[in-house]
Chains A and B, each alone.
Chain A
Amino acid sequence: MLTAVPLTELDRGQSGELLGSELAGVDRQLLAALGLCESSRLRLCKTGDPWIVQVCGTRIGLSDAVARRLFVIPDP
């Protein structure tokens, strides 16, 4: 069974599905509005602060504080 890991544990170039986040309030809303909501498929383009993910056609930069709170089910 595949388990979710923090985004920061993915390797560069690895893809996965966003399971959820520990963010709350407006941060969570903004993340979803940017395209990073539950079940979104993403690819990690760059590791380290800032972490850069690609979701559909968008590249999104995330600070360490955000990336640590995102949980992703990595593709096998």
Chain B
Amino acid sequence: MRIARARPERFGGIVEVESPRALLHVDRQMMRELGYPESPLWQLPPEGPLSAPREVHVVLSRRCAAGCRGCYVDATPDGAALPFEDACRILDELAAMGVFHVALGGGEALELDYLFAVAAHARRVGITPNLTTSGLGLDAKAAEECRVFGQINVSVDGVGAAYAAARGFDGFRHAERALRLLRAVKREVGVNCVVSRSSFPRVPEVARLVHKLRLNELELLRFKPVGRGARLDEELTPAQCRELWPMARRLVWRERIRVKLDCSFAPMVFWHRPSAKAAAFFGVQGCVGGDVLAAVQPEGAFTGCSFTPRPAADARIPGAMAEAWRSGFSEFRDYAAHAPEPCASCEYLRLCNGGCRAVGTPDPGCPRVQEHRSRRPLPVVAG
């Protein structure tokens, strides 16, 4: 285990270690034991937002030839892109703020001829670049260049015909080929699978693919009604919301693979009442927009997460991101303090933070919210 870098926080600090690759939150005493100097942040109460995001999703473009029917960034073949110079300057600022990881995506980031140059720049300034791609057009040479990334996930929303049904075009063979090419050059290759109402029953087939190709993770992402997805009726049913956590557990045991769920699934996990202590330790959280996570859009908007349209600043203006981080994002950060029922009385509120802002507040996919709403008395209508 080697400490790559660290930054102080109110509670102590965040330490990035390599092999195993991990981000560790440690207390003030541990920071002292590791030789870090006293921080002015340690004069503040330990609770409060992070001094900077831990990870930032940089949406490099809204450009993609695939035309997936549920694309959340509404990508088109000639969509907007963040210019190379802007991307590098933004990475410089994020590095100065202390950001550890960036997730590069789009659109299809591989369609940009400067993707690898952006990733190399991230490495130079001390940020680990990660990538999500459809894998379309990836050849052996590009796969070799992908060594620059930390984790690379290929989007596979179904196997065979289920892929075409989910995405609206037949790209499964391309995605599988991309996975094999990437796995031949690096270990940190996984699958992203968007779980929607119609794809839910076929998720186990994707898990089997992850096992078969010896990939390091399966990440299940919740379908969100954003971008072109807003025109689809694909949000999970209440029964599927309850079944998600048991299904994820079964996939771990049956396929012997690592399964992760994105932050928007947290309410559906907490409804099953897992150990709150274990959840806190392993960073199981709901909405972390404007705290752990931030996003930069291709047009320069600095937002709390990729799915929220409200910009806190223009990331292209020098210093604007750091300034916005100090004072903005109250819609994310203040939720727990003013949460309505049924969130207010939920023991997981501090971890869950009301669920995903992209689908509603409080999260309508949360089984607890669904139960609360079903119990509310109907209004009396005068006859």
The judgment on whether A and B are partners is no
Which residues of B does A touch, CB under 8 Å? none
